[in-house]
Amino acid sequence: MTAAHWLLATHLLGAMVWVGGIAFVFSVLRPSLAVLDVPARLVMNAEIHRRFFKLLWLAMPIVLASGYGLLFVVSGGFGAAGWAVQAMHLSGLAMSVLFLAIFVGPFRSLREAARSGDLARGTAAMTRLRQLALINLFLGMLTMVVAVMGT
């Protein structure tokens, strides 16, 4: 296997963790938590996101680094890269910024609200976290479509 193969495999695995994790939270986990009362749901959401975000702090730099590796090793740099690579680069940066915004904003508020039992603040934080994560999910899925179309 060549360096390009390793970079692509690493990139795809990281993207699967990132986008697949968001999809799992939306489609399976979130609806399942509805059986819990609100205080327990907030604590559970805070813990789930804490663990998931630990994983994303590993996956995000791996996806970015392998993406840049692919950009320069396979595509020949920014000037030689096609529209699909340029679009994936932009969406990857946007997803990273959104993750950072989620982490320092609504996730931090959610954790504090879960610790203090502030249901109103925790619910508001979860709503905002969910909105931003939905944008990230859309960007991730769009990026995958672009990857297939651009090949």
The number of distinct structural domains making up the chain is 1
Q: What is the pLDDT of residue 129?
A: 97
CB 5 within 8 A of CB 126: no
Q: What is the CATH number of the domain that holds 124?
A: 1.20.120
- Domain of 94, in residue numbers: 3-149
* Averaged pLDDT in 10-residue chunks for the chain of 151 residues: 93 97 94 94 96 97 96 91 94 97 98 96 97 97 94 64
Taking the whole predicted model, whether its pTM rises above 0.95 is answered as no
* Ramachandran region, residue 2 (left: φ > 0; alpha: ψ -120 to 50; beta: rest): beta
- pLDDT tens, position by position, 64-78: 999 999 999 988 999
Q: Looking at residue 27, what DSSP letter applies?
A: I
Q: What is the pLDDT of residue 150?
A: 86
Give dist(CA 43, CA 113) in Å, integer. Answer: 9
